[in-house]
Amino acid sequence: MNDVWFRPLVWMDYRLAVLFTVIIPIILLIWVFVQKAEAMQRLIMIYWRVSSLLLISLYLMIGEFGVSFISSLMARILIPICLWLWVDINDEIEYQQSGPLKLIFTSWRWAVSIYCVLGAIASLPFLGCAFSETAIKTPYCRVWFEAPLLFKEYFHANSKPGFLGFLGIISLIVYVLYLSYFVLVKLGKQGRSAT
């Protein structure tokens, strides 16, 4: 597997994902609740619901399921949408008094959106891994499983990859059902308003 030239880029992508999609949002979550910034609270909670697809994708990759490549791409598409879709939240944040929280929150929204869009574009060549049993066994595809398997060793050392992948499949089914309900029912009723 040492012949994959883009391995450092894959690992860099995982590191950036941890920074932009986990660490900074956790800090912002605490900060917006301490500051009682209601619009930002609503948006960060929406973000966490949508970005849970990244965690589901991680567990699917531990199980080495091809669908993980699709769910990861979809997460990267849905995250920027969820951060900018809501007209009422955008207006409240825009008209909120300037300060460090607003600056950092807005900077993070832009940064994570750009990261996700670029990541989605970069992951397009790997979609073939989702549809071919032969391709998924090649170093070209397997390099994407290295970081999730390391995560498994740190946090689930005594669990089997197949079981964790099964949890990922169950979670993905629940996620798709909830997203379908939201898109087909709730979005039609409330439009681009988050309230």
Residue 58 lies in a domain: yes
Residue 174 lies in a domain: yes
Out of 3-7, 146-150, 188-192, the most confident range is 146-150
Nearest to 2 by CA among 123, 142, 147: 142
> Cα dist. 83→43, 76, 106, 154 in Å?
7, 12, 10, 31
Residue 33 lies in a domain: yes
Asked whether the beta carbons of 136 and 129 are under 8 A apart, the reply is yes
Residue 1 lies in a domain: no
Mean pLDDT over residues 79-105, rounded? 93
How many structural domains comprise the chain?
1
Residue 2 lies in a domain: no
Going by the DSSP 8-state scheme, the letter that residue 5 receives in this structure is T
Look up the pTM and report it. 0.93
pLDDT at 188: 83
Residue 114 lies in a domain: yes
Alpha-carbon span 102 to 32, nearest angstrom: 10
| H or E element, residue 159 | none
> Chain-wide mean pLDDT for the chain?
94
Which pLDDT tens digit goes with each residue over 141-173?
999 999 999 999 999 999 999 999 999 999 999
- Supply angle C-alpha 163, 77, 38, rounded to 5: 95
Residue 150 lies in a domain: yes
Query: In sequence order, which ranges of the chain are alpha helices (DSSP H)?
Result: 7-18, 24-35, 38-62, 67-84, 87-94, 100-123, 128-131, 133-136, 139-142, 146-155, 161-181, 187-190
Nearest to 148 by CA among 35, 65, 42: 65
pLDDT at 164: 97
Domain of residue 40, residue span: 7-190
- Is the pLDDT at 195 greater than 90? The verdict is no
